[in-house]
Structure 1
Amino acid sequence: METVGQDQIIIATAGHVDHGKTTLIKALTGIDTDTMEAEKKRGLTINLGFAFFDLPNHEQVGIVDVPGHERFLKNMIAGLSGIDLVLLVVDAAEGIMPQTKEHVEIMSLLGIDNYIVVLSKIDTVDDDIRELVTEDVKDFLKKHDIEAPIVPVDAISGTGMKNLIEIMDKKVDSIKKPKYNGIPRINVDRSFSIKGFGTIITGTLLEGELTKGMTLEAFPSGKTTKIRNIQVHDEDVDKAMPGTRTAVNLANLKTEEIRRGDVLTLPGNIQPTSMLDVDFRILPDKNAHLVDLWSRVRVYLGAEEIIARVVPLGEETIDATKDNYLQLRLEKPVAVKKGDRYIIRSYSPMVLIGGGTVLDPNPKKHRRYNDDVLEQLSVKASGNQEQIALDFLMNQSELGATIDGLADYLNISVDDAKAIVQTLTDENEVTKYGKLVVSNDRLANFKKDILETLGVYHKSHRLENGMNKEELIAKFRTVVDGKTMERILEKMVSEKLIRIKGFIVADANFHVKLNKYQQAAYDEIIATLKKDPLMPPSDDDIVGNDKNKQEVFKSLEGHVTVRLGEKNVMLKSAFDDVTQQVVNYLKKNQTMTIAEFRDLTGASRKYGMLILEYMDKQGVTRRKENMRVLAKG
């Protein structure tokens, strides 16, 4: 089997109904894209027809025959996903018609600006009509800022066809395909079954590559499936690359479980959404009130039509002279990526209004007038990938993102994401913590959050030296993983923002301050513990009902004192001393009985057992029958 190359070109025909698009494709390719009986009867291309042929100096190119009849406009929009070149077909006898204009407006909104104008049925008109229509077309192109050759042809007689193919060949030569980004995604525009094969879908592979055996997920349903077979240009292939028009045979998925408008991609690559933040361009001759607050509209995304409500952001009404931002509240979930193009038509009557780009596919609900939100949308609309990456790192819920996560969000290749991160690192805008990329501004704010958390703890626990490190890490677990948090804390120590002693973390400027009553209580507690250091007293023996002693005593545990059990406490310094004695003894003698511990330290059997059991818990010693040995010996 073969692999279809990444540089495959997809060409679409567009233009008014009956201007000769399907006939033109048949003349170019020998393939009749009017395959459905209903289409044959009407002379219309209802669903997307597809054909392919070899240009003289290139590999095969695919041609999508999109519908020209108004009823089937959403099919036409679906056909324009992944299009590189448009053959705008204009009947030499009729010239520019309303749907010619609408098709061009749609393609402009979808970011398609590469045209060849095919003046069709040229043998059916005289020279005067031909010249008149040609001038009409030139005026139309100038008005829409389109530079395109006008090629007169007659697909039935063959007039001009050779010239058209030569011009197509030159145009194709100048097309630069988008870079492969490694994450396959295909908009489904057909779903059907063939006996003996099962479910088959067709669509243009927007990005990434598809391979046989690959596991995919259908969105928004979340159904998983495996690729049985791939066809490109009616040929079985092992792999299909971006931009190819593809048919995919799917396993473990019934035809009714995947439909037109769904998206196939890697599991987890897309999060279905019922809201979109978008930039919006209204067409010059359209009424801005068609997109007032809560206007009901039809949104076209890929191969999907969705009903939505409009929420203009930052403005009372849409202004045709400036950038506009909308939040679209959808009536059903969709699966889209940042940067996808969309079209809006009014709900009824169906009038083309405008369109734009998806800036945030999974936004929160916004207040209409929020300067921070508008600034973020402005950055996202700018197209500056470094600034968009910084905005993402600064405003997402988690502290940072991996390179893969950035690539996924920006909808670019991993290599391109690495280059962006390197640029931002060189400009001192981001820092890498292992695999995590963190905005330096966000990191500075995060450090402030840590200091504020410690400050609150110190205020509530004035006599404690600090906060348990695990407790501090747990407070930020939804924001950053524990390993990265450890690295950030180490950095904050080196910056003299905090101090860490053992498992206790404190603000570097915090110190325990005892008043005279607390100092007196502290002195009495220490004196009690020092009196017989290897006879650990109980809590009641140390503090009784004295509230000052109780408060001070609690603050000492873990750094001045150690708790041997539920009731008994000893000085940490005394425990450390006796531990060293035991370690030295065991290094020399290998084993120690309780009697030998008593002889070595002078401790009673009762307290000796408590101390040795605590040493076992600390991993210093371990019990072996009725003796102790070094735990790591």
Structure 2
Amino acid sequence: MWVVATAGHVDHGKSTLVRALTGMEPDRWAEERRRGMTIDLGFAWTRLPSGATVAFVDVPGHERFVPNMLAGVGPVPAAMLVVAADEGWMPQSAEHLAALDALGVRHALLVVSRADLADPAPATRQALEQLAKTCAGNVEAVAVSAVTGAGLDDLRAALDRLGAALPPPDPHAPVRLWIDRSFTIRGSGTVVTGTLGAGRLATGAELELAGAPVRVRGLHSLGEPVSTVDAVARVAVNLRGVERTAAARGDALVEPGRFVSTDLIDVRVHGDPVADLPATVMLHIGSAAVPARVRPLGADTARLRLDRTLPLHAGDRALLRDPGRHRVPGGVIVLDVSPPPLRRRGAAATRAAELSTMDGRPSYADELRRRRIVHADELRRMGIDPPAPGWLLDPSYVAELRVRLVEEVRAHAEAHPVDPDPPLDALRARLGLPDRAIVERLLPSSMAVHNGRVASGARLPDRLQRAIDAVRAGLAATPFAAPEADRLAALGLGPKEIGAAVKAGQLLRIADGIVLLPSAPEAAAERLAKLPQPFTVSEARGALGTTRRVAVPLLELLHRRGATRRLPDGRHHCP
């Protein structure tokens, strides 16, 4: 169990208390020990009476180091709030508690320290009243003295109960490790540390850092080398081939393909009215602190434009901080990590109405209904498990698209009577779809795809059909006497019209300007098979009763189909 140890003033004996509990020094810097004040994140752990391990992220209490404090709070599921008996509830206590509440930390323990210096009852009463107003609600309180040791056994027992109440983390959740430290170890390279809030890390795993692939070279947890780490855990990750300057506090190691890297999000704000927020706030999530410009949408919803991209899920919790006024105006729940643009008049009001129906618990059905069409991979990056791979369509949208598709096919046939079958890509563009494969899925059973076009079933124009019939009649009498170009022109059969006849299966084009009946190749093969084998082009021309203009491309067609074989001496042979 990992617990964030936080105090509402400079220290309130917090670090001394952590040292007394664990026998470890959480303050890593000499400056911290000299000043008796936590400046940056510290870490310590110990074994509890039950045999479970409790570990602490020791965060600063002074208001000057609130960003450092927030970097340690984000991924940790429980908090130990320390208030000094001789000082009571302080303004900084309120800011720390507001941050915990905004991040949805529901599991907490109140520790009233320095009970040897004053009666702990007033401070306990004050703190419990404040905690009761947050999502933590009614919490257990323990009074202790790190100096005399009074209450430490009670505190260990209370920590055991706190750990037992925590929900088990999901080992199959996608990995997102917010980095709070980055350093280099001689012979090992770059090492980053963070608190793994969900999922499982393993040596050799492939992750992403700022969009670039990285590989886990080694892992340490609680000071020991390990091959795998399950959440919730403090972990040090040795990265292969990564420069130390490529990773910093606020970056995140993420599982590939499982998060949306975005700088634009729609959120619900819990706290101050959105209209009262400053134009720019600091967004804190995980160990990241990113300036964000606020665009109010509804009474409690807003669009945030971040100064840099972050790997996020719908449903993520974060908090807003107003550095100018040294306060936390509220927490946010991320409603949408891939919001639509607001370009048209009234789009913001429409979006506000839509956001008012969203609760920060994304579901497949809701997202599909809102987006109408979405790829399974995109849903997975949003934090939603899709039921199937590929493109997913809302059923009501499918019905609408099928009606439009039939209308588009009919309109194309009417506008292009000689070429009535529309290309799939043209239909995709007209319907505004991202993939031509979706068009094929939408086709009714009465329509089929042939050579990348949708067979509309439309009849050819009467004028064109009469011309084709005239050609077919001549070929019925002399099947290999293809009409000359001037004859085709006189009938009004240009390349486009011939193409329409070929698509309709009424003629066969064996070369430019040379057409026969579709049955011609089979009939020619039968005649040629009766010749003495092998035979010349001239002999084939005579047997077919045609000219060299027709015989040569017809033999080439038969060769491609395997009906004849060309010999090295230029003669032909029917197998």
Structure 2 match to 1:245: 234
2:252 to 228, 248, 263: 263
Residue 138, structure 1, aligned to residue 116, structure 2: no
Please give the secondary structure, in 2, of the residue aligned with 1:207.
Answer: coil
Q: 2:310 and 2:280 mapped to 1: Cα distance?
A: 17
Structure 1 match to 2:2: 10
TM-score of the two chains, using structure 2 as the length reference: 0.88
Q: 1:504 to 1:249 in 2, by over 3 A?
A: closer
How large is the RMSD of aligned CA atoms in angstroms? 3.4
Confirm or deny: 8 A CA contact 1:15 1:100 kept in the other structure: yes
Confirm or deny: 8 A CA contact 1:525 1:549 kept in the other structure: no
Q: 1:458 and 1:155 mapped to 2: Cα distance?
A: 87
Q: 1:619 and 1:105 mapped to 2: Cα distance?
A: 81
Q: 1:621 to 1:382 in 2, by over 3 A?
A: farther
2:482 to 533, 536, 547: 536
Please give the secondary structure, in 1, of the residue aligned with 2:320.
Answer: strand
Q: 1:583 and 1:91 mapped to 2: Cα distance?
A: 105
Q: 1:619 and 1:493 mapped to 2: Cα distance?
A: 36
Structure 1 match to 2:284: 300
1:21 is displaced (CA, Å) by: 1.6
Give the letter for the 2:383 counterpart: L
Provide Cα deviations, 1:184-228, integer angstroms capped at 9, x if missing partner: 221111112233332211111233322222333211xx3443322
Residue 385, structure 1, aligned to residue 363, structure 2: yes
Q: 1:390 to 1:620 in 2, by over 3 A?
A: farther
Q: Percent identity?
A: 28
Provide Cα deviations, 1:281-300, integer angstroms capped at 9, x if missing partner: 124xxx754426xx122111
Structure 2 match to 1:185: 176
Confirm or deny: 8 A CA contact 1:81 1:206 kept in the other structure: no
Q: 1:13 and 1:124 mapped to 2: Cα distance?
A: 21
Q: 1:254 and 1:470 mapped to 2: Cα distance?
A: 45
Please give the secondary structure, in 1, of the residue aligned with 2:79.
Answer: strand
Structure 2 match to 1:426: none
Structure 2 match to 1:414: none
Q: 2:46 and 2:573 mapped to 1: Cα distance?
A: 82
TM-score of the two chains, using structure 1 as the length reference: 0.80
Confirm or deny: 8 A CA contact 2:263 2:309 kept in the other structure: yes
Q: 1:83 to 1:501 in 2, by over 3 A?
A: closer
Q: 1:364 to 1:591 in 2, by over 3 A?
A: farther
Q: 1:443 to 1:607 in 2, by over 3 A?
A: same
Confirm or deny: 8 A CA contact 1:33 1:65 kept in the other structure: yes
Confirm or deny: 8 A CA contact 2:169 2:197 kept in the other structure: no
1:593 is displaced (CA, Å) by: 6.0
Provide Cα deviations, 1:530-560, integer angstroms capped at 9, x if missing partner: 453312224442124x768777545323322
Please give the secondary structure, in 2, of the residue aligned with 1:272.
Answer: strand
Mapping of residues 496-507 of structure 1, within 5 Å: 496=446, 498-500=447-449, 504-507=453-456
Please give the secondary structure, in 2, of the residue aligned with 1:179.
Answer: coil
Give the letter for the 2:458 counterpart: H
Q: 1:511 to 1:198 in 2, by over 3 A?
A: closer
Q: 2:405 and 2:548 mapped to 1: Cα distance?
A: 46
Q: 1:96 and 1:614 mapped to 2: Cα distance?
A: 93
1:57 is displaced (CA, Å) by: 2.1
Structure 2 match to 1:567: 513
Mapping of residues 175-324 of structure 1, within 5 Å: 175-181=166-172, 183-219=174-210, 222-283=211-272, 289-291=275-277, 295-313=279-297, 315=298, 319=299, 324=300
Q: 1:523 to 1:588 in 2, by over 3 A?
A: closer
Please give the secondary structure, in 2, of the residue aligned with 1:335.
Answer: strand
Please give the secondary structure, in 2, of the residue aligned with 1:557.
Answer: helix
Confirm or deny: 8 A CA contact 2:428 2:434 kept in the other structure: no
Provide Cα deviations, 1:289-331, integer angstroms capped at 9, x if missing partner: 4426xx1221112212211211112x3xxx4xxxx22111122
Q: 2:436 and 2:255 mapped to 1: Cα distance?
A: 25
1:464 to 404, 419, 423: 419
Provide Cα deviations, 1:94-124, integer angstroms capped at 9, x if missing partner: 2221111111111111111111111111111
Please give the secondary structure, in 2, of the residue aligned with 1:564.
Answer: strand
In structure 2, stretches of 5+ residues that fail to align are none
Q: 1:588 and 1:239 mapped to 2: Cα distance?
A: 78
Provide Cα deviations, 1:392-413, integer angstroms capped at 9, x if missing partner: 76253xxx425xx5433225xx
Please give the secondary structure, in 1, of the residue aligned with 2:197.
Answer: strand
Give the letter for the 2:219 counterpart: I
1:363 is displaced (CA, Å) by: 3.1
